Structure 1
Amino acid sequence: MKTPADIITRLQMVAQDGTKSDRRLASLVLSDPDFVSKAAISDIAARIGVSEPTVTRFCRNLGCEGLRDFKFYLAQALAIGGPYLSPEPVSRDAREQRIASAITGAAIAAIERVAENLDMTTLVAVANRIAASQNVLCIGSGGISSMMATEMQNRLFRLGLSAVAQVDGQLQRMYAAVAAPDTTLIAFSVSGFARSVVEAVEVAGQYGAATVAITAPDSALAKAAKTVIHFQPLEDGNVYKPTSSRFALLAIVDMIATATAEARGPKVLENLRRIKQSVNMLKVDNPRLPIGD
């Protein structure tokens, strides 16, 4: 029997388009998954007034062997996505709080946490290595990590460094294969288990490149890289709000960029001046605007 890939989606579909009894059973599971995951088949059947064989047929219609198999997949789905099915109701204080305050407060807290736990000795050593590198390869997969790889490239090229970002898994491995001892690879992964990123780090390391991972400690990526800047996200449980971890990760990127600029010294200033001059001539002449808009 085919294993259901996403039991919650199947339940939602059945709750809309299934038979009368299946719709009632699906609605029960979606509204009270904790009860269904623990109750006996007789209790489930009695709860909505159907027979036990009807419950069994319902489970089989979902692609499961029976109730026990269904409970296994339900528990798996709840462990992964449970908070998104029945999130805690927003408290009165949170409802009355401005969205701007919620976002900025969480961002500030995330940055302060990472600053308190960051090993600045390691970070500065990484920056010194980047400053002396012939080539810098920045890689990351997924939403946050891919953006950080691109931002790292954006910060480094203006310092006169040959930096490139790759977020495609195949290209990450290809670029890693042409790395050399004067290459520095910077890998981002919040989880530390993005396969393409881990493999690229391993490949680059085989050719003598300095490999740096900004990732969770004790992860596969942390074990693959020669140098690790530990990054452990801590969420606040608000499933409606975008993750605040990216602000903390961006702070690390900016710290590395600043330390790299200081390591390279005054020679970076001419590049920055040229970029500022060029960009400002294409738009309003305002010296207070940031470089690159």
Structure 2
Amino acid sequence: MDGTRTIDMVARLRSLAAGGSPAEKRLAAIVLDSAETASAAPIRALAQWADVSEPTVTRFCRALDCEGLRDFKLRLAQIVAIGGFSMFPGPIHRSPYDESIITSVRDGAIGAIQRTAATLDMTLIAKAAEAIAGARQVVAFGSGGVSSMGAVELENRLFRFAIPVTAHTDGQMQRMVAAVAGPGTVAVSLSSSGSAPSVVEATQIARDYGATTIAITEPGSALAGRAEIVLGFKVPGDGVVIKPSASRYALLTVVDVLATSVAEAVGPSALEGLRRIRKSLAALGMSNSDRPIGD
């Protein structure tokens, strides 16, 4: 078997649990119910738990496209190690009308914002804001769901102050844009994990060519090690995999604090851009003094 082949063992296990032979159904149910235990169990134990013979366990492993028990246990252990709770989720018991859903999302968002606000270093925020306010151009790099959204949101915040800014979420574009950066360019890289390869590499490329590099990321991460100014945040998961990650709120907190600090650094001229935007939208009937400008 090709050792580089990617096997979705979870999907295959569920398929056997639903439509395999009686022995396969019992073995698959055992593994899905207790994946960590099964990954360490000897063949004799697996056979006894499922009331099957040891050769049947071996055939079961091969039905999962594994070479044998050892390969099966290795692959299963790897799945468990990268997040067994999400690979083998428990049943959802709550009603979609349950108000505890609101509470869960609300508390996660509030907790993420409070944790992030309490740990932000305003000295570093001010340093980053001054660099952005004086930049010839700003580029924002983000890859993945939360971080790409954050890069686009940073662009959405900064253009209002007449700062030339573009967001890039494509890895190849990030590298190309970084390669033509230089003194006068500020590269702001966003990654909740700090390990997105394209963002880490683009940050280093931009820095090599003289750009000022700012990272909004997890402290101590690979991305943090490549940037000159690190605006760190970290929000641990709560294990509720069906709920969107609260790290979105943490990242947007940093973006909003940074954007507000940039406006302060730009000074009164920042208001002129906002005035023009409101005037432009008024012609479309979309501007109202009680509403945010352009939101």
* TM-score between both structures, scaled by the size of structure 1: 0.92
Partner of 1:60: 62
Give me the whole-angstrom Cα distance separating, in 2, the residues matched to 1:283 and 1:273.
15
Partner of 1:161: 163
Counterpart secondary structure, 1:158: helix
Instruction: Pick which of 44-53 and 173-182 moved more.
Output: 44-53
Residues 235 and 32 (structure 1), Cα distance of their counterparts in 2 relative to 1, 3 Å cut: closer
Q: Which runs of 5+ in 2 are unaligned?
A: none
After superposition, what is the alpha-carbon deviation per residue over 1:180-227, rounded to whole angstroms, capped at 9, x for unaligned?
Answer: 100000000111111100110111111100011111122111111122
Q: Which runs of 5+ in 1 are unaligned?
A: none
After superposition, what is the alpha-carbon deviation per residue over 1:214-254, rounded to whole angstroms, capped at 9, x for unaligned?
Answer: 11122111111122111212222222211111111101101
Partner of 2:10: 8
Give me the whole-angstrom Cα distance separating, in 2, the residues matched to 1:23 and 1:106.
38
Identity across matched positions, percent: 49
Partner of 1:210: 212
After superposition, what is the alpha-carbon deviation per residue over 1:165-192, rounded to whole angstroms, capped at 9, x for unaligned?
Answer: 0000000001111111000000001111
Give me the whole-angstrom Cα distance separating, in 1, the residues matched to 2:154 and 2:107.
25
Determine whether 1:51 maps to 2:53.
yes
After superposition, what is the alpha-carbon deviation per residue over 1:34-88, rounded to whole angstroms, capped at 9, x for unaligned?
Answer: 4422332122112222110010111122122221221111111112231121449
- 1:103-182 map, 5 Å: 103-182=105-184
Partner of 2:270: 268
Give me the whole-angstrom Cα distance separating, in 2, the residues matched to 1:285 and 1:228.
36
Determine whether 1:249 maps to 2:251.
yes
**Number of matched pairs:** 290
Instruction: Pick which of 66-75 and 143-152 moved more.
Output: 66-75
Instruction: Pick which of 191-200 and 103-112 moved more.
Output: 103-112
What is the RMSD computed on CA atoms of the aligned residues?
Answer: 2.0
Partner of 2:32: 30
Structure 1 residue identity aligned to 2:76: L
Give me the whole-angstrom Cα distance separating, in 2, the residues matched to 1:234 and 1:27.
31
In the alignment, is the contact (CA less than 8 A) between 2:287 and 2:293 conserved in 1?
no
- 1:167-246 map, 5 Å: 167-246=169-248
In the alignment, is the contact (CA less than 8 A) between 1:133 and 1:182 conserved in 2?
yes
- 1:83-102 map, 5 Å: 83-84=85-86, 85-87=88-90, 97-102=99-104
Partner of 1:280: 282
Deviation at 1:281, TM superposition (A): 2.9
Give me the whole-angstrom Cα distance separating, in 1, the residues matched to 2:248 and 2:29.
36
Give me the whole-angstrom Cα distance separating, in 1, the residues matched to 2:248 and 2:167.
18
Residues 188 and 284 (structure 1), Cα distance of their counterparts in 2 relative to 1, 3 Å cut: closer
Give me the whole-angstrom Cα distance separating, in 2, the residues matched to 1:2 and 1:24.
28
Instruction: Pick which of 36-45 and 114-123 moved more.
Output: 36-45
Give me the whole-angstrom Cα distance separating, in 2, the residues matched to 1:251 and 1:12.
40
After superposition, what is the alpha-carbon deviation per residue over 1:81-125, rounded to whole angstroms, capped at 9, x for unaligned?
Answer: 31121449879xxx9653222222221111111111111100111
After superposition, what is the alpha-carbon deviation per residue over 1:246-293, rounded to whole angstroms, capped at 9, x for unaligned?
Answer: 111101101111010011111111110111122233235532111113
In the alignment, is the contact (CA less than 8 A) between 2:214 and 2:229 conserved in 1?
yes
Deviation at 1:11, TM superposition (A): 1.2
In the alignment, is the contact (CA less than 8 A) between 1:192 and 1:220 conserved in 2?
yes
Counterpart secondary structure, 1:228: strand
